[in-house]
Structure 1
Amino acid sequence: MSSVKQIPEKIRKLYEIVNELEAMFPERHFTPDGHLVGSIGEVLAEYHYGLELFTASAETHDAKALW
């Protein structure tokens, strides 16, 4: 899953944009949180722990073990 290896650079780019937006609009916060952070965690957990993710917002669980 080579896409996972791209996550650190994508997050760096997100924070660059956050910093630009906060400089443009100092009275507002543009923190990447909520679904974004949760989804990043899920795809990393899928990769590192051999999980199969369920459809987003599935009831009770986010994934199942493949082993």
Structure 2
Amino acid sequence: MEIHQAVKNMLQIVEELHKSYPKKKFTLDGRLVGDLGEILVEEDYDLELYEGLEKHHDGETSDGRRVQIKTTMKSSLTFPVDHIPHYYIGIKVHSNGTYTEIFNGPGSVAWNAVKGRKPTKTNLHSVTLSALKKLNAEVPENERIPKRANK
């Protein structure tokens, strides 16, 4: 595929995604994977995304829990340096469009993967999926953000 046509196709897809999910921009500048992950989580979990960008959290559950959502297609997720989110959901999106939940629980539990680290220039810590999966195993079921009843 020729690069100019590929860019045109991607931009057309982004435009169609934005029309279907107007809460997200789906820009190709590094936010695309994150925006896709947020929509996947919103559709499957009991939460609604905030309109536009909000500081520290991406959405809220029906019972008022604020949630930060992080998405990757690689072997690590990010965790903020400057705050501990109320709740944190981290997913890995696979090339076939499915995803795996890596972490779902209080941000304070996920924070154990980065506590003691020095601040970074990007204001984000990188955390391996395996480290977050180990911490996820410690989260009681009642501390997780539930999936929607119809999922």
Considering only CA atoms, is the larger Rg found in Structure 1 or Structure 2? 2
TM (norm. structure 1) is 0.48
**Which is strand-richer, 1 or 2?**
2
**Which is helix-richer, 1 or 2?**
1
